[in-house]
Structure 1
Amino acid sequence: MGDQISWWVELAVKSGQLDNFEALTGEMVETARRERGVLSYQRFVSEDRKCVLLYERYADSAAALAHLRQFESNFAKPFLEMVDRTRFTVLGNPGDELRAVLDRFGAMYLKPFGDFAYWA
């Protein structure tokens, strides 16, 4: 894992908001695709279409922090109006500055111990 930081965010989409949420997060995906250090940015939806999971992976704390600053500037307000956050789990060892931002989102932190990963 090294310096990489990843997280998953579990969200309950508010009634009648899934189409709007899908459109907004589609814009977010395209923005993230152009950001330096974004390694993965994926969306998943439950079969009943009420629960969404976002999985994001970054090269390091600096890339994750840059992404969050961009998110807060451009997407946070409408995003947070469409969902209720049920869980925010951070994987890795975020730097102090990144952790301060993640704390505002109610993040829970999991640190690696004895692992490996193959990424195709």
Structure 2
Amino acid sequence: MKLFPTVAIAALAAGAAFAEGQSADDVHWHITMTVNAGQADAVKPLLDRMVAATQANEPGALVYDYMGDGDQVHISERYADNAAAMTHMGNFGANFAEEFMQTFSITSVAVYGPAGDDLKEVLAPFSPTFMPQISGFAR
């Protein structure tokens, strides 16, 4: 079963201000989720594999962070542009989506920047909020 649409994980940090090297093409998201019952021991090994794969295979992934406390986990991701975000979603869907969705329940997704229609479609099952930039700068 193709879980590509379920890959909407994807999460991240934003606001109107950009970090150094960031541009108006950057797409970021912040995802909040809860660890599913009985899955606590699966979290770190899964995330370590995902981080390693993303770092090794996705040069357009600029930030890829997971933070958590107890059964609450937040994801912050930033991509160079919509195409890089879609590359990540494709890799996620092909390699990790099924295990990820068994491990976590997504509670919210906020997407910042110029998300394309393709990314909006992939993330639609998670009822994301889309926030295009209206002002800001990079130093």
TM-based fold match above 0.5: yes
SS class of match (1:112):
coil
CA–CA distance in 2 between the matches of 1:85 and 1:9?
7
CA–CA distance in 1 between the matches of 2:25 and 2:66?
23
What are the within-5 Å matches in structure 2 for residues 34-45 of structure 1?
34=56, 35-45=58-68
What are the within-5 Å matches in structure 2 for residues 1-120 of structure 1?
1-34=23-56, 35-46=58-69, 49-118=70-139
Q: Which has the higher contact order (CA 8 A, sep 6+)?
A: 2
Q: Contact 2:110–2:131 at 8 Å: present in 1 too?
A: yes
SS class of match (1:45):
strand
Deviation at 1:77, TM superposition (A): 0.4
What is the Cα-based RMSD across aligned positions, in Å? 1.3
Runs (4 or more) in structure 1 with deviation over 6 Å come to: none
CA–CA distance in 2 between the matches of 1:26 and 1:96?
30
Identical pairs, percent = 34
> What does the per-residue CA deviation read over 1:4-49, in whole Å, with 9 as the maximum and x for residues that have no partner?
0000110011123122011101100001102120000001012xx1
CA–CA distance in 2 between the matches of 1:87 and 1:64?
18
CA–CA distance in 2 between the matches of 1:106 and 1:31?
26
Deviation at 1:117, TM superposition (A): 3.8
Structure 1: which amino acid aligns with 2:25? D
What is the TM-score with the length of structure 1 in the denominator? 0.90
SS class of match (1:36):
coil
| Structure 1: runs of 5 or more not aligned | none
| Structure 2: runs of 5 or more not aligned | 1-22
